[in-house]
Amino acid sequence: MKELDFYDKIKNWDFSSINYIEDSLTNWDLYEILKAKTTEESIVLDLGTGGGEKVLKYFPKVRKIIATDFSEAMINTAKKNLKASGKKDIEFRQMNNLDMNTPNDYFDVVVARHTCIDAKQIYKTLKKGGCLILRGVDKLDCWSLKTLFGKGQAYTDTLPISVVDYENIVKAGFKKVELVPIHVREYYKTKEDLLALLLKTPILENFSELEENNNLIKFNSIDNELIDKYISENQTEQGILLIRRYYGITAIK
Protein backbone atom coordinates (compact mmCIF):
# COMPACT_ATOMS: atom_id res chain seq x y z
CA MET A 1 0.00 0.00 0.00
CA LYS A 2 1.44 3.33 -1.09
CA GLU A 3 0.67 5.17 2.15
CA LEU A 4 2.23 2.47 4.33
CA ASP A 5 5.29 2.40 2.06
CA PHE A 6 5.64 6.17 2.53
CA TYR A 7 5.51 5.92 6.32
CA ASP A 8 7.99 3.05 6.33
CA LYS A 9 10.56 5.23 4.53
CA ILE A 10 10.35 8.11 7.01
CA LYS A 11 13.03 7.64 9.65
CA ASN A 12 12.44 10.73 11.78
CA TRP A 13 9.06 11.90 13.06
CA ASP A 14 10.50 14.37 15.56
CA PHE A 15 8.89 17.74 14.79
CA SER A 16 10.47 19.54 17.74
CA SER A 17 13.03 21.35 15.58
CA ILE A 18 10.32 22.92 13.36
CA ASN A 19 9.57 26.48 14.44
CA TYR A 20 5.83 27.09 14.23
CA ILE A 21 2.87 28.11 16.36
CA GLU A 22 -0.55 26.48 16.40
CA ASP A 23 -3.96 28.06 16.84
CA SER A 24 -6.66 25.42 17.35
CA LEU A 25 -10.19 26.61 16.57
CA THR A 26 -11.91 23.42 17.76
CA ASN A 27 -12.38 22.18 21.31
CA TRP A 28 -11.46 18.52 20.73
CA ASP A 29 -8.38 17.12 22.47
CA LEU A 30 -7.48 13.45 22.00
CA TYR A 31 -5.41 13.31 25.16
CA GLU A 32 -8.11 14.86 27.34
CA ILE A 33 -10.61 12.34 25.97
CA LEU A 34 -8.12 9.51 26.58
CA LYS A 35 -7.62 10.65 30.15
CA ALA A 36 -11.39 10.68 30.72
CA LYS A 37 -11.83 7.19 29.23
CA THR A 38 -9.09 5.45 31.23
CA THR A 39 -8.22 4.48 34.78
CA GLU A 40 -4.99 3.19 36.26
CA GLU A 41 -6.24 -0.34 35.45
CA SER A 42 -6.85 0.30 31.74
CA ILE A 43 -5.02 -1.46 28.91
CA VAL A 44 -4.45 0.83 25.92
CA LEU A 45 -3.40 0.21 22.31
CA ASP A 46 -1.83 3.09 20.37
CA LEU A 47 -1.77 2.72 16.57
CA GLY A 48 0.64 4.81 14.51
CA THR A 49 2.88 5.65 17.45
CA GLY A 50 5.85 6.85 15.37
CA GLY A 51 8.82 7.38 17.67
CA GLY A 52 6.60 7.14 20.73
CA GLU A 53 7.02 10.79 21.70
CA LYS A 54 3.28 11.41 22.19
CA VAL A 55 2.77 8.24 24.21
CA LEU A 56 5.67 9.02 26.50
CA LYS A 57 4.72 12.67 26.98
CA TYR A 58 0.92 12.83 26.92
CA PHE A 59 -0.62 9.43 27.69
CA PRO A 60 -2.03 8.99 31.22
CA LYS A 61 -0.80 6.45 33.72
CA VAL A 62 -2.53 3.11 33.04
CA ARG A 63 -1.83 -0.57 33.70
CA LYS A 64 -0.37 -1.23 30.25
CA ILE A 65 0.20 0.50 26.91
CA ILE A 66 1.06 -1.36 23.72
CA ALA A 67 2.13 1.12 21.04
CA THR A 68 2.65 0.02 17.44
CA ASP A 69 3.90 1.35 14.14
CA PHE A 70 4.30 -0.07 10.63
CA SER A 71 7.90 1.17 10.43
CA GLU A 72 10.62 -0.93 12.07
CA ALA A 73 12.90 2.13 12.12
CA MET A 74 10.32 4.14 14.05
CA ILE A 75 9.79 1.34 16.59
CA ASN A 76 13.56 1.21 17.13
CA THR A 77 13.47 4.96 17.78
CA ALA A 78 10.53 4.52 20.16
CA LYS A 79 12.38 1.85 22.13
CA LYS A 80 15.37 4.18 22.52
CA ASN A 81 13.05 6.97 23.68
CA LEU A 82 11.41 4.59 26.15
CA LYS A 83 14.74 3.57 27.62
CA ALA A 84 15.74 7.21 28.03
CA SER A 85 12.42 8.02 29.72
CA GLY A 86 12.71 5.33 32.36
CA LYS A 87 8.97 4.67 32.10
CA LYS A 88 7.50 1.21 32.69
CA ASP A 89 4.38 -0.62 31.51
CA ILE A 90 4.83 0.58 27.91
CA GLU A 91 5.68 -1.80 25.09
CA PHE A 92 6.59 -0.72 21.55
CA ARG A 93 6.22 -3.26 18.75
CA GLN A 94 6.09 -3.29 14.95
CA MET A 95 2.67 -4.05 13.46
CA ASN A 96 0.68 -3.41 10.32
CA ASN A 97 -2.62 -1.75 11.33
CA LEU A 98 -4.32 -3.52 8.42
CA ASP A 99 -3.10 -6.93 9.59
CA MET A 100 -3.34 -6.70 13.37
CA ASN A 101 -2.03 -9.52 15.56
CA THR A 102 -3.43 -8.30 18.88
CA PRO A 103 -5.73 -10.53 21.00
CA ASN A 104 -9.52 -10.31 20.80
CA ASP A 105 -11.54 -8.57 23.54
CA TYR A 106 -8.39 -7.30 25.23
CA PHE A 107 -8.04 -3.51 25.19
CA ASP A 108 -10.09 -0.93 27.09
CA VAL A 109 -9.12 1.85 24.67
CA VAL A 110 -7.64 1.92 21.17
CA VAL A 111 -6.06 5.18 20.01
CA ALA A 112 -5.32 5.78 16.32
CA ARG A 113 -3.45 8.94 15.35
CA HIS A 114 -2.90 10.00 11.73
CA THR A 115 -2.68 6.42 10.51
CA CYS A 116 -4.46 3.80 8.41
CA ILE A 117 -7.02 1.68 10.27
CA ASP A 118 -9.22 -1.37 9.83
CA ALA A 119 -12.32 -0.70 11.94
CA LYS A 120 -13.36 -4.37 12.06
CA GLN A 121 -10.00 -5.45 13.47
CA ILE A 122 -10.07 -2.66 16.06
CA TYR A 123 -13.59 -3.73 17.05
CA LYS A 124 -12.39 -7.31 17.62
CA THR A 125 -9.45 -6.32 19.82
CA LEU A 126 -11.51 -4.03 22.07
CA LYS A 127 -13.35 -5.28 25.15
CA LYS A 128 -17.11 -4.88 25.18
CA GLY A 129 -17.74 -1.29 26.20
CA GLY A 130 -14.22 -0.33 25.09
CA CYS A 131 -13.56 2.95 23.33
CA LEU A 132 -11.95 3.92 20.02
CA ILE A 133 -10.42 7.39 19.83
CA LEU A 134 -9.25 8.40 16.37
CA ARG A 135 -7.61 11.58 15.08
CA GLY A 136 -6.96 11.85 11.37
CA VAL A 137 -5.98 14.19 8.55
CA ASP A 138 -8.89 15.07 6.28
CA LYS A 139 -9.15 15.71 2.53
CA LEU A 140 -9.20 19.53 2.80
CA ASP A 141 -6.04 19.64 4.90
CA CYS A 142 -3.61 22.23 3.43
CA TRP A 143 -6.03 22.60 0.53
CA SER A 144 -4.60 25.88 -0.79
CA LEU A 145 -1.15 24.28 -0.99
CA LYS A 146 -2.48 21.13 -2.66
CA THR A 147 -4.49 23.04 -5.27
CA LEU A 148 -1.46 25.17 -6.09
CA PHE A 149 0.60 22.03 -6.78
CA GLY A 150 -2.33 20.10 -8.24
CA LYS A 151 -1.65 17.07 -6.04
CA GLY A 152 -1.45 15.89 -2.47
CA GLN A 153 -2.74 13.50 0.17
CA ALA A 154 -6.40 12.60 -0.60
CA TYR A 155 -6.44 15.28 -3.33
CA THR A 156 -8.37 13.11 -5.80
CA ASP A 157 -10.50 11.22 -3.26
CA THR A 158 -14.23 11.36 -3.93
CA LEU A 159 -15.20 11.24 -0.25
CA PRO A 160 -13.39 12.93 2.65
CA ILE A 161 -11.28 10.52 4.70
CA SER A 162 -13.34 11.44 7.77
CA VAL A 163 -16.55 10.23 6.12
CA VAL A 164 -14.94 6.97 4.98
CA ASP A 165 -13.59 6.26 8.46
CA TYR A 166 -16.93 7.17 10.07
CA GLU A 167 -18.90 4.86 7.78
CA ASN A 168 -16.45 1.98 8.24
CA ILE A 169 -16.58 2.37 12.03
CA VAL A 170 -20.39 2.27 11.98
CA LYS A 171 -20.36 -0.79 9.68
CA ALA A 172 -17.93 -2.56 12.03
CA GLY A 173 -20.60 -2.49 14.75
CA PHE A 174 -19.52 0.42 16.94
CA LYS A 175 -22.11 2.46 18.84
CA LYS A 176 -22.22 6.12 19.89
CA VAL A 177 -20.02 7.09 16.95
CA GLU A 178 -19.27 10.81 16.96
CA LEU A 179 -17.36 12.72 14.27
CA VAL A 180 -15.93 16.19 14.95
CA PRO A 181 -14.21 18.34 12.27
CA ILE A 182 -11.04 19.90 13.72
CA HIS A 183 -9.84 23.25 12.36
CA VAL A 184 -6.32 24.46 13.09
CA ARG A 185 -4.21 27.37 11.86
CA GLU A 186 -0.44 26.83 11.85
CA TYR A 187 2.13 29.59 11.32
CA TYR A 188 5.64 28.60 10.18
CA LYS A 189 8.45 31.00 10.97
CA THR A 190 10.54 30.46 7.83
CA LYS A 191 10.44 28.72 4.46
CA GLU A 192 12.85 26.13 5.86
CA ASP A 193 10.39 25.32 8.66
CA LEU A 194 7.60 24.80 6.15
CA LEU A 195 9.81 22.60 3.97
CA ALA A 196 10.80 20.58 7.03
CA LEU A 197 7.13 19.80 7.63
CA LEU A 198 6.58 18.77 4.02
CA LEU A 199 9.68 16.59 4.23
CA LYS A 200 8.26 14.53 7.08
CA THR A 201 4.62 14.23 5.97
CA PRO A 202 2.72 13.08 2.86
CA ILE A 203 0.89 16.40 2.40
CA LEU A 204 2.23 16.62 -1.16
CA GLU A 205 2.39 12.81 -1.47
CA ASN A 206 5.67 12.25 -3.29
CA PHE A 207 7.67 14.87 -1.37
CA SER A 208 9.58 12.77 1.16
CA GLU A 209 13.03 12.32 2.56
CA LEU A 210 15.71 10.08 1.12
CA GLU A 211 18.50 8.55 3.17
CA GLU A 212 21.79 8.21 1.35
CA ASN A 213 25.47 7.98 2.23
CA ASN A 214 24.98 7.27 5.91
CA ASN A 215 22.22 9.67 6.89
CA LEU A 216 22.70 12.36 4.25
CA ILE A 217 19.17 13.70 3.86
CA LYS A 218 18.07 15.24 0.57
CA PHE A 219 14.81 16.75 -0.64
CA ASN A 220 12.98 15.13 -3.49
CA SER A 221 12.35 17.47 -6.38
CA ILE A 222 9.80 20.19 -5.65
CA ASP A 223 8.85 23.29 -7.57
CA ASN A 224 10.63 26.03 -5.66
CA GLU A 225 8.73 28.74 -7.55
CA LEU A 226 5.41 27.31 -6.41
CA ILE A 227 6.57 27.16 -2.79
CA ASP A 228 7.69 30.78 -3.01
CA LYS A 229 4.33 31.71 -4.56
CA TYR A 230 2.47 30.00 -1.72
CA ILE A 231 4.61 31.77 0.86
CA SER A 232 4.08 35.19 -0.72
CA GLU A 233 0.31 34.65 -0.71
CA ASN A 234 0.16 33.30 2.86
CA GLN A 235 2.75 35.35 4.72
CA THR A 236 1.33 36.89 7.89
CA GLU A 237 2.72 38.70 10.91
CA GLN A 238 2.65 35.42 12.83
CA GLY A 239 4.41 33.48 10.05
CA ILE A 240 3.55 31.45 6.94
CA LEU A 241 -0.07 30.35 7.31
CA LEU A 242 -1.04 26.73 6.75
CA ILE A 243 -4.70 25.85 7.28
CA ARG A 244 -5.05 22.33 8.67
CA ARG A 245 -8.14 20.15 8.55
CA TYR A 246 -8.23 17.20 10.91
CA TYR A 247 -11.07 15.16 12.33
CA GLY A 248 -11.77 13.34 15.58
CA ILE A 249 -13.91 10.25 16.03
CA THR A 250 -14.97 8.52 19.23
CA ALA A 251 -16.90 5.25 19.30
CA ILE A 252 -17.90 2.54 21.77
CA LYS A 253 -17.94 -1.22 21.19
As for how many domains the chain has, the answer is 1
Task: Give me the pLDDT at residue 221, please.
Answer: 58
Range of the domain at 99: 2-252
Task: Give me the pLDDT at residue 208, please.
Answer: 39
Task: Give me the pLDDT at residue 17, please.
Answer: 79
Task: Give me the pLDDT at residue 128, please.
Answer: 98
What is the rounded distance in angstroms from the CA atom of residue 134 to the CA atom of residue 30?
Answer: 8
Domain with 149 in it: what CATH number? Answer: 3.40.50.150
Task: Give me the pLDDT at residue 3, please.
Answer: 47
Which stretches in the chain have pLDDT values below 70? Answer: 1-15, 206-221
Tens-digit pLDDT profile for residues 97-122: 999 999 999 999 999 999 999 999 99
